[in-house]
């Protein structure tokens, strides 16, 4: 019996299926995670910087304490009174010269006690001169400060054994900064001014200074 092509049924060739990938082995995390119920509550809060209303209405406005502003104004506009008593006054005059340029610190010498706020006692204070120094100090407006320049103004210096010499100007007026030396260099007086400026900023909240 002859077999015709119609009687032959052809079946498509089946392609081999790729092998399934192996199932991943369960691994335990090195650091345990948060509980699913607690994770939303532990989400970091988005930080939104606050802005004051006056900064939105008036941009560029700087807010500082009033005592800080007053203290910065005072320490940057010191007016020392120009008077000298002995050889330390020569060093004080040299400090005022252009070589040291005290104007860059806002320090301008003033010839009258009515507008001065710093007294530099430069030299030996005798008991005859002490009342005049005290009167000049009382004529200065508040707030006011005193710099004792040199050993003579601080404790009598080489004349401490003489009865007519005052054993320190702090016996009659209060002293804020002492400058050692006999006589001290202009750099020492400049350092005293810088120390006085720092003291003004530190004591801006003290009673009688602000």
Model pLDDT for residues 84-100, shown as the tens digit of each residue: 888 989 999 999 888 88
pLDDT above 70 (res 124): yes
Q: What sign for the dihedral angle of Cα 123, 128, 129, 133?
A: positive
Instruction: Give the tokens for residue 154.
Output: 């601080």
The pLDDT of 55-65, averaged and rounded, is 73
Q: What is the pLDDT of residue 210?
A: 43
159: number of Cβ within 10 Å = 16
Q: What is the pLDDT of residues 101-119, one digit of tens each?
A: 888 888 888 888 999 999 9
In a domain, 47, yes or no: no
In a domain, 149, yes or no: yes
* Mean pLDDT of all residues belonging to the chain: 81
For strand 145-149 and strand 118-122, is the pairing parallel, antiparallel, or unpaired? parallel
Which residue, among 141, 130, 143, has the nearest Cα to 209 in the 3D structure?
A: 143
In a domain, 11, yes or no: no
In the numeric block, the tokens 């939303």 are attached to 40
Q: What is the pLDDT of residue 209?
A: 44
Instruction: Give the tokens for residue 142.
Output: 């508040």
CA 186/CA 90 separation, integer angstroms: 9
DSSP letters spanning 22-71: PPPPP---SS----TTTTGGGSPPPP-----HHHHHSTTPPP--HHHHHH
Q: What is the pLDDT of residue 75?
A: 84
The domain of 108 spans 84-202
Q: What is the pLDDT of residues 155-193, one digit of tens each?
A: 888 888 888 888 889 889 999 999 998 889 999 999 999
- Where residue 145 sits, what CATH number does that domain have? 3.40.50.12280
In a domain, 12, yes or no: no
In a domain, 39, yes or no: no
The more confidently predicted of residues 56 and 107 is 107
What's the whole-model pTM score?
A: 0.67
In a domain, 75, yes or no: no
Percent of the chain with pLDDT over 70: 80
In a domain, 165, yes or no: yes
In a domain, 10, yes or no: no
Work out how many domains the chain is built from and give that number: 1
């Amino acid at each position: 019996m002859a077999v015709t092509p119609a009687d032959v049924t052809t079946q498509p060739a089946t392609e081999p299926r790729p092998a399934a990938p192996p199932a991943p082995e369960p691994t335990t995390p090195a650091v345990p995670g948060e509980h699913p119920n607690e994770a939303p509550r532990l989400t970091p809060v988005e930080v939104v910087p606050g802005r004051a209303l006056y900064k939105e209405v008036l941009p560029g406005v700087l807010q500082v304490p009033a005592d800080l502003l007053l203290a910065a104004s005072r320490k940057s506009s010191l007016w020392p009174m120009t008077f000298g008593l002995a050889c330390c006054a020569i060093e004080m005059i040299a400090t005022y010269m252009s070589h040291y340029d005290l104007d860059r610190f806002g320090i301008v010498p003033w010839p009258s006690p009515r507008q001065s706020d710093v007294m530099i006692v430069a030299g030996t204070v005798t008991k005859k001169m002490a009342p005049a120094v005290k009167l000049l100090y009382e004529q200065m407006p508040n707030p006011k400060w005193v710099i004792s320049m040199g050993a003579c103004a601080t404790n009598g210096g080489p004349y401490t054994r003489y009865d007519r010499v005052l054993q320190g100007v702090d016996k009659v007026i209060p002293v804020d900064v002492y400058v050692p030396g006999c006589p001290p260099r202009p750099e020492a007086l400049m350092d005293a001014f810088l120390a006085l400026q720092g003291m003004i900023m530190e004591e801006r909240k003290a009673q009688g200074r602000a």
